Amino acid sequence: MLLFTASAYSQEWKLYSKSTSVAVYSRLTEVGLEVKAIATVRSKPDALLKLLEDTDAASQWIANCKAVVVKARPSIKERLVHSYYNAPWPVRDRDMVTYSYVVSDGDGKGYRIEVTDVGQDFPQDPAYVRMEQVSGMWRIKTISDQRVQISYQGRGSAAGAIPKWLSNKLLLESTAETFENLTKMIVKMKYQKG
- The values of phi and psi at residue 12, to 5°, are -70, 155
pLDDT at 171: 93
CB 17 within 8 A of CB 151: no
pLDDT digits (tens, 9 = 90+) for 141-159: 999 988 999 999 999 988 8
The phi and psi torsions of 58 (rounded to 5 degrees) equal: -55, -40
CB 101 within 8 A of CB 77: yes
Which one, of 44, 39, 42, 178, lies nearest residue 110 by Cα?
A: 44
Residue 8 within a domain: no
Residue 131, CB-side half-sphere exposure with 13 Å CA sphere: 23
Say if residues 14 and 27 touch (Cβ distance below 8 Å): yes
What is the amino acid identity at position 181?
N
Task: Say if 104 falls within a structural domain.
Answer: yes
* Interatomic CA distance for residues 162 and 69, integer angstroms: 25
Rounded distance between C-alpha atoms, residue 166 and residue 180, angstroms: 21
Q: What's the number of domains the chain is made of?
A: 1
Residue 9 lies in a domain: no
pLDDT for position 6: 46
* Structural domain includes residue 5: no
In the 8-state DSSP scheme, what is residue 119?
Answer: G
- Residue 4 domain-assigned? no
Q: Which pLDDT score is estimated for 160?
A: 84
* Per-residue model confidence (pLDDT) at position 9: 62
Q: Which domain CATH number covers 43?
A: 3.30.530.20
Work out the angle at residue 33's Cα, subtended by the Cα atoms of residues 154 and 68, and round it to the nearest 5 degrees: 45
On whether residue 67 sits in a domain, the answer given is: yes
pLDDT tens sequence across 74-95: 999 999 999 999 988 888 999 9
Hey, what amino acid is at 24?
Answer: V
Element spanning 52, H or E: helix 47-53
Domain contains 150: yes
Q: Which residues of the chain have pLDDT under 50?
A: 1-7
- What range defines the domain where residue 185 resides? 14-192
Four-CA torsion 142, 138, 34, 16, nearest 10 degrees: -40
Amino acid 88: pLDDT? 84
Helix, coil or strand: residue 10: coil
Residue 107 lies in a domain: yes
What pLDDT is attached to residue 5? 45
